[in-house]
Amino acid sequence: MAADVHKKKGWEVPNGSLAPGDGQHAERSESPTPGLAQGTEPGAGQEGAMFVHTRSYEDLTSPEDGAAAARSPEERRGEPAEPTSMEQISKDFSELSTQLTGMALDLEEEMRQSKEGKLEPSPQTTHRDSVLSGKEEEDVTMDAWRMHRKHVFVLSEAGKPVYSRYGSEEALSSTMGVMMALVSFLEAEKNAIRSIHAGTALGGNGMWGLMACLAVLLPWATLAVPRGRLVAGGRGCSLAPPCSPGEPGLQVCPRPSRGTPSQADGYKVVFVRRSPLVLVAVARTRQSEQEIAHELLYIYYQILSLLTWTQLNHIFQQKQNYDLRRLLAGSERITDNLLDLMAHDPSFLMGAVRCLPLAASVRDAVSTSLQQAKAKSLVFSILLSGNQLVSLVRKKDQFLHPIDLHLLFNLISSSSSFREGEAWTPICLPKFNSSGFFHAHISYLEQEMDLCLLLVSTDREDFFTVSDCKRRFQERLRRRGVHHALQEALRTPFYSVAQVGIPDLRHFIYKSKSSGLFTSPEIEAPYVREEEKERLLGLYQYLHSRAHNSSRPLKNIYFTGPRENLLAWVTSAFELYICYSPLGTKAGAISAVNKLMKWIRKEEDRLFILTPQTY
């Protein structure tokens, strides 16, 4: 197996316009407070990391060489002065103007709108109950179909439909045609345009109107503005002024922050081209283009994990107009699940993995048991519960990429079929090695226990050896007597934010950059309903996109809204997002951050995996 383990940036690198927002230097450990330097922040592994080191989702989108070049000079100048001490931070926050408050109104409006737009069926009912019995086909001419907050389409470069999140691909063939025309137009412009913004004075017909008017627009647009941004307005289309020369093609386009409700609720059409596939999202969410593109890349990797990059390319080299749905039959559910998961689970946004809270002694016993149940062909042994990591043991010098782990989490959560017997399936881990298959042994430890064991092997003939590893692992668990403790831990897979002891604190996300792990409490009241939870994640997404904006990255963000206040703090070592009561003050938030960081430090051996094991 020719595994290119450290391939952080490979063939999938897009053009130079996708600059990472956070110009991060690994060698910034000379920062004044060693306690916060990368590698020593709470949650950082004591014996190195488990994962391929990733900065965040920029790893997906960052160009190979454009990273340094695209960073603004201000930022580079600002780096040495990066505040790492609490005092500095509180000073910064006090000085920080609350210019972002203006956005809240707009955001509220959008949230309200989305509630009104709840014509859309709940995710549960739109799920394809069974691809076998023919997926539940949605009528693409219905309003309900148009009201979905995020459409995702995958098509081949020949314009053949591959996947549609809602409705059947068949019924969408004309749309796919328009998209293909758009893509070739974008290609002709050397990727100058990656996304299109549209207002929705068009109402429910917005997307179709947009598509139609773009189709008309294309010929002259090509001539007129080579590096312009397309903005399709209500009754016609106009082109936004071209970007300034230094501005990257894909960027967060400033949107009317105090616009009328209809304008605020615009569509974004985002394209990602990964030959031989084209991925398109039509979104009404507040996410930035970068984040939507990031989700599209996940979908692309999901497809690779089923087919491998090599096979995918081979197929289309043989036959350009191949109907890929033949090979992907039955996998729609996995892709659907991935999209739903990305809308609920901050793991994807953070580009990090969440651990099941577990006493360090128990986790160590589990890890040691896993480590001892090894086999020659095993590369990774992963124990997970829900979408949380319990333990991960890896072969020496082999690192898993968080994206690959997310894909494995998604695979397991999207199918209940693993609960029966032992599964043995080929799987490609695209970030690890996109050219070949591993074989994964997937099984639940016990019928009624949400504890899934994943053993990744290089040898497809090794089923019985690997299956024996599982048996040995279970035996060791029993002998060490941690079975009961594990069961207890599974009963409370999430902790309450009340444990932190900060009255105004409602929720937070803390990511340790060096370990690639993050921790976050359960989302509790007032975020009870599904759409409330999604709204909270939407706020985090918004802060994240501001913090990682490629042209204007922010280190500290203080956001006041009518329903909650949020604070984001991004350093080279960690990222912290907190959400607290709207009545809380900025000073209160800063002291909360202090207290919270101390709490995380105190609890870190329970919330993180500090001593990752190798075979």
Least distance between another protein and beta carbon 402 (Å): 22
In the structure encoding, which two tokens stand for residue 109, read together? 């409006």
| Per-residue binding letters, 113-132, with another protein (x by CB under 8 A) | ----------------xxxx
Q: Does residue 333 bind another protein (CB under 8 A)?
A: yes
Least distance between another protein and beta carbon 410 (Å): 12
Q: Does residue 464 bind another protein (CB under 8 A)?
A: yes
In the structure encoding, which two tokens stand for residue 23, read together? 């110009």
| Per-residue binding letters, 253-292, with another protein (x by CB under 8 A) | ----------------------------------------
Q: Does residue 329 bind another protein (CB under 8 A)?
A: yes
Neighbouring C-beta atoms of residue 125, cutoff 10 Å: 9
Least distance between another protein and beta carbon 327 (Å): 5
Least distance between another protein and beta carbon 310 (Å): 13
Least distance between another protein and beta carbon 1 (Å): 16
Between 126 and 287, CB nearer to another protein: 126
Q: Does residue 189 bind another protein (CB under 8 A)?
A: no
Least distance between another protein and beta carbon 127 (Å): 8
Identify which range of 110-118, 324-332, 480-488, 507-515 contacts another protein by CB under 8 A. Answer: 324-332
| Per-residue binding letters, 483-522, with another protein (x by CB under 8 A) | ----------------------------------------
In the structure encoding, which two tokens stand for residue 72, read together? 């603004």
Q: How many residues bind another protein (CB under 8 A)?
A: 34
Could you tell me which residues come within 8 angstroms of residue 463 by beta carbon, excluding any fewer than 6 positions away? 424, 439, 441
Peptide bond into 526 cis (omega under 30): yes
**What burial class does residue 260 get, using C-beta atoms within 10 Å of its C-beta: 0-12 exposed, 13-18 middle, 19+ buried?**
exposed
Q: How far is 269 from 59, CA to CA, in rounded Å?
A: 22
In the structure encoding, which two tokens stand for residue 462, read together? 């090794």
Q: How far is 19 from 67, CA to CA, in rounded Å?
A: 5
Among 15, 313, 415, 551, binds another protein (CB under 8 A): 415
Q: Over the range 219-239, which residues count as b (16 or more CB within 10 Å of their CB) and which as e?
A: eebeeebeebbbbbbeeebee
**Rounded to the nearest 5°, which phi and psi values hold at 462?**
-95, 20
Among 280, 283, 293, 306, binds another protein (CB under 8 A): 306
Q: Does residue 323 bind another protein (CB under 8 A)?
A: no
Between 27 and 461, CB nearer to another protein: 461
Among 171, 423, 490, 554, binds another protein (CB under 8 A): 423
Neighbouring C-beta atoms of residue 402, cutoff 10 Å: 26
Peptide bond into 161 cis (omega under 30): no
Between 99 and 417, CB nearer to another protein: 417
Least distance between another protein and beta carbon 140 (Å): 22
With tokens 């014509």, the residue in question is 119
Amino acid in the structure at residue 56: S
Identify which range of 65-73, 87-95, 394-402, 422-430 contacts another protein by CB under 8 A. Answer: 422-430
- Long-range own/partner contacts, residues 310-316 (CB < 8 A, 24 or more apart): 310/434, 310/435, 310/436, 312/276, 312/277, 313/275, 313/276, 316/156, 316/157, 316/276
Q: Does residue 326 bind another protein (CB under 8 A)?
A: yes
Q: How far is 480 from 362, CA to CA, in rounded Å?
A: 9
Closest CA to 205 of 253, 136, 267: 267
Among 225, 382, 440, 517, binds another protein (CB under 8 A): 440
Between 64 and 129, CB nearer to another protein: 129
| Per-residue binding letters, 551-570, with another protein (x by CB under 8 A) | --------------------
Interface positions, 162-181, toward another protein (CB under 8 A):
none
Q: Does residue 330 bind another protein (CB under 8 A)?
A: yes
From its phi and psi, is residue 134 left (phi > 0), alpha (psi between -120 and 50) or beta? left
Torsion of CA 529, 530, 532, 536, to 10 degrees: 140
Least distance between another protein and beta carbon 437 (Å): 8
Binding site for another protein (CB under 8 A): 129-133, 306-307, 326-331, 333, 411, 415-418, 420-427, 439-440, 460-461, 463-464, 467
